[in-house]
Amino acid sequence: MTTSEMLQRARRAVPAVAALTAEERTAALCAMADALEAGADRILAANAADCAAAEGKISPVMIDRLMLNEARIAAMAQGIREVAALPDPLGRVISSSVRPNGLCIERVSVPLGVIGIIYESRPNVTSDAAALCFKSGNVCVLKPGKEAAASASAIVGLLKEALLPFGAADAVNIPEDTSRAAAAEMMAAVGLIDVLIPRGGAGLIRACVTGSKVPCIQTGTGICHVYVDAAADQEMALKIIENAKTSRPSVCNAEEVCLVDRSIAPEFLPKLKKRLTDCRTAAGKPPVELRLCPESAVIIDGTPASDTDFDTEFLDYILAVKVVGGVKEAVGHISAHSTGHSDAIVTSDPSAAEYFLNTVDSAAVYHNASTRFTDGGEFGLGCEIGISTQKLHARGPMGLCELTSYKYVVRGSGQTR
Amino acid sequence: MTTSEMLQRARRAVPAVAALTAEERTAALCAMADALEAGADRILAANAADCAAAEGKISPVMIDRLMLNEARIAAMAQGIREVAALPDPLGRVISSSVRPNGLCIERVSVPLGVIGIIYESRPNVTSDAAALCFKSGNVCVLKPGKEAAASASAIVGLLKEALLPFGAADAVNIPEDTSRAAAAEMMAAVGLIDVLIPRGGAGLIRACVTGSKVPCIQTGTGICHVYVDAAADQEMALKIIENAKTSRPSVCNAEEVCLVDRSIAPEFLPKLKKRLTDCRTAAGKPPVELRLCPESAVIIDGTPASDTDFDTEFLDYILAVKVVGGVKEAVGHISAHSTGHSDAIVTSDPSAAEYFLNTVDSAAVYHNASTRFTDGGEFGLGCEIGISTQKLHARGPMGLCELTSYKYVVRGSGQTR
């Protein structure tokens, strides 16, 4: 089947998938989870072929992301079961009113239609994304990186078998061709795909956002800031910064830039250096390399920051550090350099906190907490398909409700205008 | 100033406009309304130049749309005052929760940022769009058709003067160049314009949706259906169809296609013909031309429908008529031919009604009411900037709340993950 034929089939499946009841969708998700476990041998054989083909071509870290085993397949199945157990996002009456003419108007949540996901080499994204899209009544088209093609195809094949008894085998789709040509065809599929969600590195996201004719949700890139105000509890600030920077440096909600108020910089920066480098080295943990602005470099030792260091998502044990003159200058710097993901202030001054929370224009703004909380699970959404850094449709972690649209249902008794 | 410089200025104005209080925005809107009335002479002089230049180049209907007078300027000012009086759409706490770790998470409405509006020759769109964007804390860039360039520039000049004392003169912007090159520059302005809303004919909307790199909201085109079920109150159906078709045929929520159940067609179609043609002719009203499918052409006289008549937004006193075998076939026809705007069923059978309302995937679905109600004012939004026929972000009439995004505001006491 060509990619074009597959996209047509996906589109045609929309009404049947949207018409499934909440109970049917939940039962189908449980069947999907069971199918992955029952078919683990097929997935592992395909994954072994993927890993063998990728050997020597991608880094050991990437091979580890690609590699599946029984435990990882069980975790994928468990992930589907957790999605199955979440509240139904469809048919919610978001608002309702009775107009003076007697018309009863309800705004009711409905599926988006066909969601395209373009991702990279993690095979588990296949089942995650399929489960979230299906739970929200959507058809999905999943385009993995070519390294994960055999694994993803095996997973989709099993999911389709599980969906067949529900008349919904075409709810989950994968192109036979997993090259860039298929991605380009998806980006051009106006009228067939309703929204495209890229999941992966900055290059992939940029390619989708700038190249897609289909509406696209910009996800992921995070140059996150923590600003330590003059009135900060400095011990709290150290704890938050170490957590935001080092608990998982490779993720988008990790801190990349620390801004410090000038009045406390001579006191705070030596503590910061001690906490992030000396103490961590002594404890056998990876130390953080500090990239210092000229003013902070006078106070502590570190690498001089280059022109690009305040605009870089390091995704590593590296932190850019800059001295600023108060909360307004901090917000100004963030406005100029942030990717609009997650930014935090540490302060005991309520007015500085409110100014920061009101003025920083990011998906998530924090007072006295780590940026690492920007996550669907941590925000109570139960799951997430990605973190939107755009303002249209959804912003921040996208859970099941963010995978829905709505329609107006109007009930009358012969009203005319 | 070049278009590029203007776009940069618009972007830079975002924080100041977003920071205005609700009271300041309301006061500024009242000043904007006053300024239009006080400066009516300037607007009328510019408009006279526009009309003179357009004479003979565009149709008399278009000249009428372009032409302003004292009364129309007063209506524009009144429109701004009505927007000023609407509830503030910003700072609404859409949802909130306290997590088990004590984090307090609020989802709060915020402006989108910079909204680009590309429109045609109606000068009043200038003040309408400026008022809606400003009330919702957004900066706008307004690109009128070149026929309305002088009028729109005069209006924007007066609005900017009124905004100056509020430090918000750059909240409303217009390119000096109103050619297609300026529109193309706006469509490419990723990072400067957050969302583009085309207002106008199908050609303009298609050009924006397919050509824009900036996220674009698809508005307007409506091929709206009314399905007369076997169990319809036929007198109600006639009243709804006459209203949906003839009360204002040039608008997007007017009916274009009538579907009639086979079992009542021999009885209903002659009544339909009488109501829409014979009675209207006798009453001196424009009769409706019926474009008939082969089966309905056996029952009544009319024009045979061509291949394209069921996919055409006539915007005229023309109605395509088709006989179908029940509600399922009606929904199937609508799924294949609707633009997803507004579709109605007339029936006394609750199960047919619920099937139709649940299954037809349009922005507004109606039971026993005219499609003409799809409108921000009629839906109780107080206003509208357009009617979205896409599913991402906003669907149906877009009022002030649909011109906002949200952010997550997270308050903690030192939480780390």
Phi, psi of A39 (to 5 degrees): -100, 20
Q: Which two tokens stand for residue B118?
A: 């590309």
For residue A28, give the H/E element and its range. helix A22-38
- Give the per-residue pLDDT at B203: 86
| pLDDT class of A59 with cuts at 50, 70, 90 | confident
| pLDDT class of B218 with cuts at 50, 70, 90 | confident
Q: Mark which residues 14-53 of A lie under 8 Å from B by CB.
A: 14-15, 18-19
pLDDT for B200 beyond 90? no
CA atoms within 13 A on the CB side of A352: 21
| CA-based nearest residue in chain B for residue A14 | B361
The helix/strand/coil state of B266 is helix
- Residue B255: its chain A contacts at CB < 8 A? none
User: Residue A93: is it exposed, middle or buried by C-beta count within 10 angstroms (0-12/13-18/19+)?
Assistant: exposed
- Please compute the mean of the pLDDT values over residues A155-184 and round it to a whole number: 96
Which residues is B172 bridged to in the sheet?
Answer: B140
- Residue of A98, A329, A392 best to disrupt the B interface, most CBs of B under 10 A: A392
Q: Which two tokens stand for residue B201?
A: 């004919």
Cβ pair A368:B417 closer than 8 A: no
Distance from CA of B84 to the nearest CA of A (A): 22
Reported as a single tens digit per residue, the pLDDT across A194-228 is 999 998 888 888 888 888 888 889 887 899 999 99
Report which of A204, A145, A219, A202 is spatially closest to residue A175, judged by C-alpha positions.
Answer: A145
The helix/strand/coil state of A119 is coil
Cβ pair B411:A368 closer than 8 A: yes
Cα distance between residue B350 and residue B352, in whole Å: 6
Q: DSSP of B113-161, one letter per residue?
A: SEEEEE--S-THHHHHHHHHHHHTT-EEEEE--GGGHHHHHHHHHHHHH
Cβ pair A367:B412 closer than 8 A: yes
A–B CB contacts, 8 A cutoff, strictly below: 198
| Minimal Cβ distance to A215: which of B14, B112, B215 | B215
Q: DSSP of B187-231, one letter per residue?
A: HT-BTTBSEEEE-S-HHHHHHHHHH-SS-B--B----EEEEE-TT
Cβ pair A408:B368 closer than 8 A: no
| pLDDT class of B192 with cuts at 50, 70, 90 | very high
- Please compute the mean of the pLDDT values over residues A315-321 and round it to a whole number: 96
User: Measured at the alpha carbon of residue B182, what is the angle toward residues B117 and A212, in degrees to the nearest 5?
Assistant: 70
- Give the per-residue pLDDT at B191: 87
| CA-based nearest residue in chain B for residue A345 | B411
- Give the per-residue pLDDT at A218: 86
Cα distance between residue B403 and residue B383, in whole Å: 12
pLDDT for B209 beyond 90? no
Residue type, A69: N
For residue B96, give the H/E element and its range. strand B93-98
Cα distance between residue B241 and residue B228, in whole Å: 9
Q: How far is CA A252 from CA A237, A248, A347, A370, B289, in A?
A: 20, 9, 24, 13, 60
Cα distance between residue A206 and residue A381, in whole Å: 26
User: Measured at the alpha carbon of residue B301, what is the angle toward residues B299 and B306, in degrees to the nearest 5?
Assistant: 100
Q: Are A134 and A164 in contact (CB under 8 A)?
A: no
Global pTM value: 0.93
Q: How far is CA B362 from CA A111, A393, B134, in A?
A: 12, 18, 29
Give CA B335 to chain center in angstroms. 22
Q: Are B330 and B346 in contact (CB under 8 A)?
A: no
- Residue of A408, A409, A411, A413 best to disrupt the B interface, most CBs of B under 10 A: A408
Distance from CA of A36 to the nearest CA of B (A): 31
CB-based contacts of A408, cutoff 8 Å, min separation 6: A105, A106, A107, A108, B363, B364, B365, B374, B379, B395, B396
Cβ pair A417:B370 closer than 8 A: yes
Q: Which two tokens stand for residue A36?
A: 């992955």
Chain B interface includes A408 (CB < 8 A): yes
> Which residue carries 């009538």 as its tokens?
B258
- Give the per-residue pLDDT at A206: 86
- Strands B342-346 and B224-228, bridge-based pairing: parallel
Chain A interface includes B209 (CB < 8 A): yes
Q: ipTM score of the complex?
A: 0.94
Cβ pair A190:B210 closer than 8 A: yes
Cβ pair A407:B362 closer than 8 A: yes
- Strands B364-369 and B342-346, bridge-based pairing: parallel
- Residue of B347, B408, B411 best to disrupt the A interface, most CBs of A under 10 A: B408
**Tell me, what DSSP letter sits at residue A362?**
S
The helix/strand/coil state of A14 is helix
| pLDDT class of A235 with cuts at 50, 70, 90 | very high
Cα distance between residue B149 and residue B304, in whole Å: 43
| CA-based nearest residue in chain A for residue B191 | A390
Reported as a single tens digit per residue, the pLDDT across A262-294 is 999 999 999 999 999 999 999 999 999 999 999
Cα distance between residue A367 and residue B103, in whole Å: 10
| Minimal Cβ distance to A364: which of B374, B408, B417 | B408
| Minimal Cβ distance to B379: which of A353, A362, A408 | A408
Looking at every residue in chain B, the average pLDDT score rounds to: 95
- Residue B369: its chain A contacts at CB < 8 A? 103, 410-416
- Residue A380: its chain B contacts at CB < 8 A? 97, 99, 105
- Residue B415: its chain A contacts at CB < 8 A? 368-370, 373
- Please compute the mean of the pLDDT values over residues B324-353 and round it to a whole number: 97
Cβ pair B365:A409 closer than 8 A: yes
- Residue A14: its chain B contacts at CB < 8 A? 361
- Residue A195: its chain B contacts at CB < 8 A? 391-392
Looking at every residue in chain A, the average pLDDT score rounds to: 95
pLDDT for B220 beyond 80? no
- Residue of B98, B410, B411, B413 best to disrupt the A interface, most CBs of A under 10 A: B410
Q: Mark which residues 354-393 of B lie under 8 Å from A by CB.
A: 357-359, 361-370, 372-374, 378-380, 390-393
Q: Mark which residues 219-258 of A lie under 8 Å from B by CB.
A: 233, 236, 239-240, 242-244, 247
| Minimal Cβ distance to A240: which of B110, B362, B414 | B414
For residue B67, give the H/E element and its range. none
| pLDDT class of A60 with cuts at 50, 70, 90 | confident
- SS3 sequence, A86-104? CCCCCCCEEEEEECCCCCE
- Residue B333: its chain A contacts at CB < 8 A? none
CB-based contacts of A286, cutoff 8 Å, min separation 6: A246, A280, A317
Sheet holding B224-228, edge to edge: A93-98, A104-111, A404-415, B364-369, B342-346, B224-228, B255-261, B318-324, B289-292, B303-304
Reported as a single tens digit per residue, the pLDDT across B3-13 is 999 999 999 99
- Residue of A391, A401, A404, A411 best to disrupt the B interface, most CBs of B under 10 A: A391
Beta strand residue intervals within A283-352, DSSP E: 289-292, 303-304, 318-324, 342-346
- Residue A417: its chain B contacts at CB < 8 A? 243, 247, 370, 372-373, 378
> Which residue carries 């069947």 as its tokens?
A31
- Give the per-residue pLDDT at A383: 86
Other C-beta atoms closer than 10 Å to the C-beta of A395 total 23
| pLDDT class of A72 with cuts at 50, 70, 90 | very high
- Give the per-residue pLDDT at B344: 98
Cβ pair A374:B194 closer than 8 A: no
Distance from CA of B127 to the nearest CA of A (A): 24
CB-based contacts of A73, cutoff 8 Å, min separation 6: A36, A37, A40, A43, A44
Distance from CA of B104 to the nearest CA of A (A): 10
| CA-based nearest residue in chain B for residue A373 | B417
- Residue A90: its chain B contacts at CB < 8 A? none
> Which residue carries 């990728």 as its tokens?
A54
Report which of A106, A107, A105, A109 is spatially closest to residue A91, judged by C-alpha positions.
Answer: A109
For residue B164, give the H/E element and its range. none
Cα distance between residue B52 and residue B217, in whole Å: 33
| pLDDT class of A382 with cuts at 50, 70, 90 | confident
CB-based contacts of A35, cutoff 8 Å, min separation 6: A158, A159, A161, A162
Chain A interface includes B415 (CB < 8 A): yes
Cα distance between residue A358 and residue A253, in whole Å: 20
- Give the per-residue pLDDT at A203: 86
- Give the per-residue pLDDT at B359: 95
pLDDT for B227 beyond 90? yes
Phi, psi of A33 (to 5 degrees): -65, -45
Percentage of residues in chain A with pLDDT exceeding 70?
100
| Minimal Cβ distance to A370: which of B216, B374, B415 | B415
- Give the per-residue pLDDT at B248: 93
Percentage of residues in chain A with pLDDT exceeding 90?
88
The helix/strand/coil state of B172 is strand
Cα distance between residue A212 and residue A190, in whole Å: 9
Distance from CA of B242 to the nearest CA of A (A): 9
| CA-based nearest residue in chain B for residue A114 | B391
Which residues is A224 bridged to in the sheet?
Answer: A255
Cβ pair A396:B417 closer than 8 A: no
Q: Which two tokens stand for residue A298?
A: 């006078």
Cβ pair B407:A362 closer than 8 A: yes
Report which of B272, B279, B310 is spatially closest to residue B294, judged by C-alpha positions.
Answer: B310
Q: Are A288 and A318 in contact (CB under 8 A)?
A: yes
| Minimal Cβ distance to A194: which of B215, B380, B391 | B391
| Minimal Cβ distance to A416: which of B195, B239, B412 | B239
- Give the per-residue pLDDT at B336: 92
